[in-house]
Structure 1
Amino acid sequence: MRPEDVVELRVHGVSGTPPEDMLGDPFPTAVAGDDVARFLRAGKPVRAVGTGRERMVEAFHWGRFTSGGASRALWLVLIPFAILNLARYTLLGAGRFAEAVLRLLALVLTCMLVTATAYVSLELLVRQCAGTAACRVEHLGFFDGWPFGAMLLVGMVPPGLVITVLWWFGRQTFLYEPKGTHHVWETRTGSLGDYAFWHTSPRTPVLRDAHVAAACAVVGVLYAGALRTAQPDRPSDVLSWTVVGLGALVLAWAVGCVVMSPDRREVDSRALKWASVLYLLLAAGLATAFLWRVPTGSSGAVTPLAGFEAVTNVLSALAMLLLLVLLGACVRMRHSARGVELVVADKRFRPLWHGYAAVVIAALATTLAVGFSGGLAYRVVDWVGEPVPEAGRAGLVLSTSYLVGAGLWGVLAIAFPLLLAPVVAAMVRQVSSAVLFAAGSVAAAVAVGLRWAHEGWGFWAAVVVAGALYAVGAVSCMRHAIGVAVREGVVADYPGRPDRPGIGKVALTQRVAAAKYRYHWLLGALALLGGVLVLAGGGLALARLAHPQWRAAPPAGLADWLSTVPARELGALGSLVVSGVVLVLLLLGVRTWQSPKMRTVVGIVWDLVAFWPRLAHPICPPPYGGRATIELTSRAVRLAGHHDVGAVVLSGHSQGSVVCFAALSLLRREAERPDPADGERYIRQADAVAALRRVGLVTYGSQLQWAYSRLFPHYLGHAELARLHDELGDRWWNVHRATDPLGGPVQVWPETAEERVHAGAKLWGVRCGNDVRLRDPEFLDPDPDMVASPLRGHSYYYDDPVFDEVVARVADAVAAPRTTVVLGDLTLSGGA
């Protein structure tokens, strides 16, 4: 075939590889797309070393969807919302109840953020600091001489800004408006092949307005509670409870929209949004007016504002209860017909965490949200004074929920590092080292406890034991760094002396890379610790809500313990860790203004959480998956149809393999769907059918098997991969390396005998079925006639000569006459 008869369409991964590097051409030519989604073509065809076959290469660069600006990078501060949205797609199937629970939990996390901001602004800074002469003079001198009502009004600015930012960020989208008439999802859960799935769901604006309304209602209720502040001309409780009741009605309206998740064509959520804004202005105006003349002189501080303890306790208790309810819903889904079908599949595709990934990810998101809220409050108190659990002690009173939350994060900051070494050792199959590290961690935990018990000799003895165990574990880890089986596999790849230089380095790299199959252990450990701490904090909050005497102040025993040295140190440590995390995220956002490399780093995190539509939490990074999938599909159809290219090979690296898989799923579904009566649609059926006959797929460095099919079993599970595998046959090959810590095999069924794929006498890869394992490096022994190749790991697949051979074989399979392929009720046959 002529070079122009074969086009390889390369799609990069989350690192946003520049098109110049993807094409090996410093001056590629733009051929399609726009300034955000670009298609560029290399100036010269690429030639396969082994066969001499040539092809044209294009690059689809979608990295600007996520890595383009600092404002987008600042989304990282709201990472708990994005993680919770991700949890929705890890469910085992259609679960209305579980989805509703996730949406409610998302609403609770939004309210946590807004409540923490209002608490810091109104209760800590305005009431306790600005309302006290000594603290006001030292920290907030610009408030000197102001009426308390005016300070209270200024205190609305921070929560108001947070609400505005949430509303504004929730409105952002990178998607085109849908074309044609297929705007309704084909199934309730959606699918990668559903065109409507990739557009902004009509439910998302309703969810966004409901979140904004709930945030306004919560802040308004806090202002309504302030009306009960003791003062000579205090208004009647009837007014306060009436305003609270109005807020409860607005909040119930918002909760109803979240639970039912209606279509924006069914519910005018704008009325809810503006009603909540008016309610907030009403509540803030009344509180400002009635508390305008509250004295703030040298005689003392303003009486505590009512409502904050109750609201923080309710949110903590709700987070705990919703996690438990979500666990129950996932248990039910796990034992449903769909859950049993997914869990009993091949163990290589079995859902992560035995089908409870939604609980794990939701627990992680809730842990972060609770930590961010508590850390913010604790840091502010630590800035203006000493945090104390109740009035009557020297310092500023901090809500028990925030004190407990900061302390629990302090426990997490100690426990997780102690778990890190044994878990990592277990991940790389160092069992003896893992046992030694675990024993050392136990000794270290004992040392921490003895330090607070003032047992000097016991503390140092535990430290010595922990250090000795860790040292022995480290020595054991180094002595057994390379497994026998791994070394034998490397020697088989590079025949010759088994002790020659380079064998050990390659074997060690492969063993470390194999830990990717156990990455979820580390994430699961963090989620388990965080979930337990969230349940502990929520259980305490629920007990305080149930006990009348504990609502305004913590129990005496708890208050005394919160004032002890261990509790204060745990709280300070937890708040420092959380503050450090938030500070790092903010610095990343600021650095993206100046550093393209930093934009890439931020883009990687964003790419991993922003692929899916916003259906659990509407205020998270705008999803790019739809735009990327639709653009890639359109380009493939254009090349195959209008440019009459004989073979279009979609070539996806890492996350790009998911985009390619979604594009083929979409193309397949469009080929099955007849044209509507009005003739308006995304792709005409005839064009989709013609394109599908001319498209092949090469994936490399892909997570489709070991990660995505297990994390998102309903959308990318074994059945979906097998269906595409059966339909494409030899038109889909996967390439991977044993040294790749992120990519791996994808098509490992059925098991077949290994054979070599040659690109020259000394250049070859090992083929098993339609999976090709590249040697990395390409050769070990120096060869004066060949350029030495480094360990490439997850990068530079294009530079391996065997990769060109694989693409050439896929192109040949596309262009060769094929047997009949059946897609549902549609039959495709014939050659290119």
Structure 2
Amino acid sequence: AGAASCTAPGSPLGFLAPDGGGWWSQPGRRLALGALVPTALTGLLWYLSNRTWSAYESQPPPAGAADPDTASDTAPALGRPGFWYGRRIVARLRAAHTAAGLLTVAVAVSAPTAAHDRRAEATAPALEALGWITQALLGAGAVTVAWVVCRRGRSEDRPDHRLDRAAVCLLPGAALALLAAVLLHACWSRPGWTSTGRLPGDFAFGVIMLGQGLCVLALAAVARHLHRRAPDPAAALRGLGGPAVAMLGCALGGVMSGGVAQRVADWMDGGATPGMAGAPLPGPPVLLSWQAAVLPPLLLVLALLAAWFAAGAARTRRRLAAAVAAEYPGESPDEARSRRIAGARTAAALTDSAPWFVAAVSGITLVLGAGALAGAWLSGQVPGEAARGAPPLLETAARTAQDAGSWLIGLGIALFAAWGRRAYRDPAARRTIGILWDVGTFWPRAAHPFAPPCYAERAVPDLTWRMAGWTGRTGGRLVISGHSQGSVLAAAAVWQLPPPVRRRVALLTYGSPLARLYGRWFPAYFGPGQLTALHRDVDCWRNLWRATDPIGGPALPGPDSPEVDRGPLADPLAYGRSARHPLPAPILGHADYQADPAFAAERAALLARLERAARAAGPRTAVAGGMPAQRPGVSKGWEASADPPGTAG
């Protein structure tokens, strides 16, 4: 707002013009006004986290479930009684992160204000002293926030029902009061203060990016060390899956920040290009322009990787198509039909290549990000200006990369918003977003309270209460039927049950990502040892899977594994037309497992098994069967329904 081009007459920011003589013309008051936006955003995040906290993190497990005194050292981590109960830690972290956000805004306002008071000779001594006091309090607040975050970790061995009321109530209030004092200090009249130069955005963005990169490298070193101590062949990228995804998350945040800043600056300076020679605005931080410039090379590398995977998939498809017809005895070969079936299987198999694709993208992102940081700090100019005087081809390439990257970032953000809007009208898009949301919000938000709420912290206790209550009331036995993400919820809920109750539960899973995705990316929770223990703890477990399913797969693959899996199931059910299948049978992939005769056969076998066990146990025991359905308040794809005692589904 200190630039004349942004505060011209008729501009929405005209009342902030530094030469207008108005109350808002002083830089400190403009800073205070601008600080209201991030303050309101921090308050909104606090409100959303606090509103969902009571609905999710505060759902206690059933009394006596997974008693820690009787649990063995090899018990699964998801079976700990406090794993899905984050009432104390999330409330504590919400207070700390809210205070950190408010203190960050206060620092952004206090730093230039106090610096001016120390330089200006006409400043009242009281203002300079107040600046020193507020900055000392800000430092003390930062130390307090770090102490609150680090002093107490997450308790999983027992449900922690206490609340740290001093931290939860006092910390955000004290930070808000300190921010109010800083804003009042900034709004004090300083007639001789004029805005010059830039705010410290370049340095701040550079430090943030460097810190993120160093944290990712440290995380990679720790993960590699842990993997070497206990090698797990099921772990994605040999234990480096977490650091690779963290690198992509940091890059996405930087790219979106750069895109928004570049587009806003471009809108505010009219027809000029921010940061270029002669432009009225100096442009956003130089680092953001360098991040935009490395985006076209990154997309080019991604295109080459996609082409390489596509070529390999085409070869695999041709090889599979030659043998498809032989799997359906008595059918006449149909080349087009075989290609479609082979294509579905090949596309589904690409899921197994995803870890290496993530590794390639994250590695390239790390290298290009380091290059962008070095270019911004060494040159101090945007890529187009830094290449001035270089060979014409190099200078043109730098300017083109910067301009193209800026527009691509803006286009990406627009497409992201359009896809979210499309979910309201297109059921297929809504289903895809729902699946991604379910997977992304499965784990407890014990690391960051401003993350989306973990629905499993409500769904797992609900299902556990239902199973424990029904079996305790009737002495009956249950079949838990879970599809896709529902199978993960079912496994997590069964682990929360006391061992005697687990023996009354049978699992029927289909299209399950337990081993294929969760076991690969989270081997400490869903590795082969944990899934084998799950099979041993429940009465029986059967898992159905298809070769055309991009998500589901075998739960316990391998020749020495227990007999859990049945598959790959035939998909489609029929190759050609017949009296039973007058129309070409569709390729179902991840959907409609209930339409396969194998589902009915396995479900009937489980119910019969439990019914025999019920009769052997005595007249009080009943059997209950569960069919997949949609239930309000829980993830789609699973349900545990208790039939009246004495029935079998």
Give the TM-score range, shorter chain: 0.7 to 0.9
2:530 corresponds to which of 707, 712, 720: 720
* 3-state SS in 2 of match to 1:221: helix
Amino acid at match of 1:247: L
Aligned to 1:739: 548
Residues 600/777 of structure 1: CA separation in 2 closer, same or farther (3 Å cut): closer
Cα offset, 1:641, TM superposition: 4.3
CA contact (8 A) 1:378 1:398 kept: yes
Aligned to 2:147: 256
Deviations 1:650-705 (Å, cap 9, x if unpaired)? 111111110111121112xx23xxxxxxxxxxxxxxxxx2x433321111111112
Cα offset, 1:713, TM superposition: 0.5
Aligned to 1:664: 494
Aligned to 2:348: 513
For 2:44 and 2:67, locate their aligned partners in 1 and report how far apart those are by CA, in whole Å.
30
Aligned to 1:148: 25
* 3-state SS in 2 of match to 1:649: strand
Aligned to 1:523: 358
For 2:80 and 2:169, locate their aligned partners in 1 and report how far apart those are by CA, in whole Å.
28
Aligned to 1:626: 457
* 3-state SS in 2 of match to 1:733: strand
Cα offset, 1:291, TM superposition: 4.9
Indicate the larger mover: 324-333 or 574-583.
Answer: 574-583
Aligned to 1:220: 106
Please say if 1:128 is aligned against 2:3: yes
Residues 556/374 of structure 1: CA separation in 2 closer, same or farther (3 Å cut): closer
* 3-state SS in 1 of match to 2:95: helix
CA contact (8 A) 1:375 1:406 kept: yes
Deviations 1:486-531 (Å, cap 9, x if unpaired)? 6325513444444566233212222222222112232222222223
Computed over aligned residues only, the root mean square deviation of the Cα atoms, in angstroms, reads 3.8
For 2:327 and 2:260, locate their aligned partners in 1 and report how far apart those are by CA, in whole Å.
56
Aligned to 2:516: 706
Aligned to 1:319: 212
Identity %: 25
For 1:790 and 1:418, locate their aligned partners in 2 and report how far apart those are by CA, in whole Å.
33
Cα offset, 1:318, TM superposition: 1.2
CA contact (8 A) 2:507 2:542 kept: yes
Amino acid at match of 1:815: E
For 2:151 and 2:601, locate their aligned partners in 1 and report how far apart those are by CA, in whole Å.
53
1:208 corresponds to which of 84, 89, 94: 94
In structure 1, stretches of 5+ residues that fail to align are: 1-125, 296-301, 344-349, 429-476, 545-549, 672-688, 753-766, 821-831
Q: Which protein has greater RCO, CA pairs closer than 8 Å, 6+ apart?
A: 1
* 3-state SS in 1 of match to 2:445: coil
For 1:574 and 1:234, locate their aligned partners in 2 and report how far apart those are by CA, in whole Å.
45
* 3-state SS in 1 of match to 2:197: coil
Deviations 1:711-745 (Å, cap 9, x if unpaired)? 1011111101111223447x211111111122111
Amino acid at match of 2:138: G
Aligned to 1:265: 164
Residues 505/600 of structure 1: CA separation in 2 closer, same or farther (3 Å cut): closer
Cα offset, 1:416, TM superposition: 2.2
Aligned to 1:395: 281
1:330 corresponds to which of 223, 243, 252: 223
In structure 2, stretches of 5+ residues that fail to align are: 155-162, 390-394, 617-647
CA contact (8 A) 2:294 2:368 kept: yes
Cα offset, 1:371, TM superposition: 1.2
* 3-state SS in 2 of match to 1:784: coil
Cα offset, 1:602, TM superposition: 3.1
Residues 232/152 of structure 1: CA separation in 2 closer, same or farther (3 Å cut): farther
Amino acid at match of 1:711: W
Amino acid at match of 2:146: V
Deviations 1:62-112 (Å, cap 9, x if unpaired)? xxxxxxxxxxxxxxxxxxxxxxxxxxxxxxxxxxxxxxxxxxxxxxxxxxx
Cα offset, 1:392, TM superposition: 7.8
For 1:572 and 1:220, locate their aligned partners in 2 and report how far apart those are by CA, in whole Å.
34
Comparing both structures, which one devotes a greater share of its residues to strand? 1
Indicate the larger mover: 778-787 or 386-395.
Answer: 386-395
Amino acid at match of 2:179: L
Please say if 1:357 is aligned against 2:241: yes
Please say if 1:695 is aligned against 2:581: no
Residues 617/180 of structure 1: CA separation in 2 closer, same or farther (3 Å cut): same
Q: How does 1:433-472 map to 2 (within 5 A)?
A: none
For 2:613 and 2:523, locate their aligned partners in 1 and report how far apart those are by CA, in whole Å.
34
Aligned to 1:491: 326
CA contact (8 A) 1:494 1:779 kept: no
Amino acid at match of 2:571: D
CA contact (8 A) 2:66 2:80 kept: no
Amino acid at match of 2:147: G
Amino acid at match of 1:791: I
Amino acid at match of 2:2: R
1:796 corresponds to which of 592, 597, 617: 592
* 3-state SS in 1 of match to 2:437: helix
Aligned to 1:777: 572
Aligned to 2:643: none
Deviations 1:627-656 (Å, cap 9, x if unpaired)? 2222223333344443565x5211111111
CA contact (8 A) 2:92 2:164 kept: no
Residues 659/486 of structure 1: CA separation in 2 closer, same or farther (3 Å cut): farther
CA contact (8 A) 2:549 2:590 kept: yes
Please say if 1:813 is aligned against 2:588: no
Deviations 1:541-571 (Å, cap 9, x if unpaired)? 7xx5xxxxx8xx9279995338955444333
CA contact (8 A) 1:199 1:626 kept: yes
For 2:348 and 2:414, locate their aligned partners in 1 and report how far apart those are by CA, in whole Å.
31
For 1:555 and 1:140, locate their aligned partners in 2 and report how far apart those are by CA, in whole Å.
28
Cα offset, 1:710, TM superposition: 1.0
Please say if 1:247 is aligned against 2:122: no
* 3-state SS in 2 of match to 1:697: strand
CA contact (8 A) 2:298 2:364 kept: yes
